[in-house]
Chain A
Amino acid sequence: MGISVVPPILIRPRGELTHIMTSPQTNSPQRHSEQATTSGETYSVKSLLCFATLLLAVLQTTLVHAEPPTGTLSGRITYAGPAVSDQVFEVNRDSAFCGAQTSIRTVAIHPKTRGLEGAVVSIDGDALPVSNAAPTPLMLTNTRCTFSPRVAAGIVGQQVEIRNDDPVMHNTHISLGPRTFVNVAMIPASRPVGKPLKQPGIYTVKCDAHKFMQAHVLAFAHPYFSVTDETGAFRIPDLPAGEHHVTIWHDTLGTIDQTVTISAQGHTSMTLDYHAAARKP
């Protein structure tokens, strides 16, 4: 794993700004006014004071209401461990369409980058601002007797939209722990079924009609997460600057925790190999 931190912090913390802004107002201008003896000098000192006060007020307004510093975390999750065989299942229902056998690639590695697809990189967000739900629904499609995507992530409140593109019936059964989130029949050409994610957590998705169909939906209270693409790449923008606890989750390889420092107004990169990280004590 390599973590490179790029630019330094550009904006000082709010406490320091307040100190800088108040010090000239209380010290040096007062000393100047005490030393002034003529009316002209008094007038110019007063003008200076007014100007300084005005300038400080403008600066204070601008800086205090400025957006907190943020940065982007991006990089790649790889897997350089021993090859993981696809899971092969006998199909005992709708095999004319689904095939007599089906194989599920649980560990999908990109041949060039060794990137791991479908890992979820997220920031542990107890202290992070809660986000409003994204306007676009999170699509979960029954297609060719699989769920697409096999791993999805969304924000609490975001609509999960279930579709069935297959000419056979599925039931999409999503649970959070022992509690059903939704279990709906999806016959061919069903109208989509939507339901907003209720709370953060790892939702399991299955089709009781076709046991080999499985997927996961991860829900967060904030937008600081990313699902790795087919090359293993991920990107989390607008992350508050500072130190963060990062969790990388994969449905069969498990979970890895990391700490990363995000630089403000810049880019922090993180490359992590699942196999190497998992072997660390």
Chain B
Amino acid sequence: MHVTHLKYITILIVMGLCASTAQAVKPPLNRDTLAEGRRIYEQACAWCHGIGGEGDGPAGWFIGRYSSPRPRNFVKDGYKLRSTASGELPTDQDLFKVITQGIPGVMPAYRSLNEQERWQVIAYLKSWNPAFEEEQPVPLTFPSGARGPTEAGIQNGRNLYVKYDCRVCHGDNGEGDGPEATAGHLRDTYELPIRATKLTDPSSFKNGASPQDMFRTLMTGMDGTPMPAYANEFAGQEEALWELVWYLRSLSGHEGS
């Protein structure tokens, strides 16, 4: 009996330590954090994003010179990859996720940095944009109560794909070859040509390819690109949005989550 109790207590202590460790690695915002963030940034990020964070690093001269995406300008750009509403800044967790996972085809994952170092970099890059001091980014609510894919649901998702004109950019079958894309009409915020995502290739999804990632991307849109947010259209009809997600996943052969 005592042994069982001890086991539970040990498990609770370990869980508590894990939780407190996860919190503890995010350092306080102070001069030391910024100095360390700067040191890491200049080693790991400045090559593309520039020493002053304006997206104009030596490699940035090549990246995005003729087509989107350019390296992010941390001083004045908005952010594509967020859990917040269109036009809002990302949360710290959003930034942490991007640094940790990278952006397929664009930016490497920085798991080589420990968590504290990633938080230090985040503190430093945020210091360039005063909007981070003025605004409080709030993530949207993403319901997790999806029923899972069904044949009827996927069919309804297809209907929504047509209704919402997704095919105009992404193509009838999600190959990224819709008429707007093939005509070269798609432009980013800097008027650089931008390709429509090939929905049949989840490994190329910049904002993640899990069902939750896709749901989030549809809700938030991709700021700075023609991809709009659909949060307003699906407010109160989240189940329909899940059906659209199941359809999109079916384009790459996924049957479910």
Contacts and interface: CB of A to CB of B under 8 A. Distances in A.
Interface in B218-249: 221, 223-224, 226-233, 235
B164 interface: yes
A208 B78 contact: no
B226 A178 contact: no
B87 interface: yes
B87 A185 contact: no
Q: How would you classify the secondary structure of chain B's contact residues: helix, strand, loop or mixed?
A: loop
Contacts of A193: 232
A208 B229 CA distance: 13
Interface in B65-91: 73, 76-78, 85-87
A183 interface: yes
B232 A191 contact: yes
A18 interface: no
Interface stretch (B37-45, B137-145, B180-188, B197-205): B180-188
Given A171-B226, A187-B163, A190-B233, A180 B76 contact: no
Contacts of B165: 169, 187, 209
A182 interface: yes
Interface in B150-178: 163-165, 168
Nearest to B135: A198
B52 interface: no
A208 B226 contact: yes
Contacts of A180: 78, 86-87, 189, 223-224
B233 to A, nearest CB: 6
Contact of A183 (B163, B221, B235): B221
B185 A211 contact: yes
A93 B228 contact: no
Contacts, number: 83
B164 A185 contact: yes
A175 interface: yes
B190 interface: yes
A254 interface: no
B179 interface: yes
A163 to B, nearest CB: 12
B228 A187 contact: no
Contacts of A114: none
A249 interface: no
Nearest to B235: A191
A190 B228 CA distance: 14
B163 A92 contact: no
Interface in A171-187: 171-175, 177-185, 187
B164 A169 contact: yes
Interface string A205-223: 0001101000000000000
Interface in A80-96: 92-93
Task: Name, among A174, A195, A209, A211, the residue most crowded by chain B CB atoms within 10 Å (CB to CB).
Answer: A209
B78 A179 contact: yes
Nearest to A179: B78
A119 B203 CA distance: 48
Interface string B75-113: 011100000011100000000000000000000000000
Contact of B76 (A177, A187, A208, A209): A177
Contact of A178 (B78, B87, B180): B78
Interface of B: 73, 76-78, 85-87, 135, 163-165, 168, 179-180, 183, 185-187, 189-190, 221, 223-224, 226-233, 235
The 3 closest A-B pairs by CB, nearest first: A208-B226, A180-B223, A179-B78
15 contacts: A92-B185, A93-B179, A169-B165, A171-B226, A173-B226, A178-B76, A178-B77, A178-B78, A179-B189, A182-B229, A183-B221, A187-B165, A191-B235, A193-B232, A209-B168
Given A92-B185, A184-B228, A198-B135, 13 more contacts: A93-B168, A93-B179, A171-B226, A171-B228, A173-B226, A173-B228, A178-B73, A180-B86, A180-B224, A181-B87, A184-B231, A185-B164, A190-B232
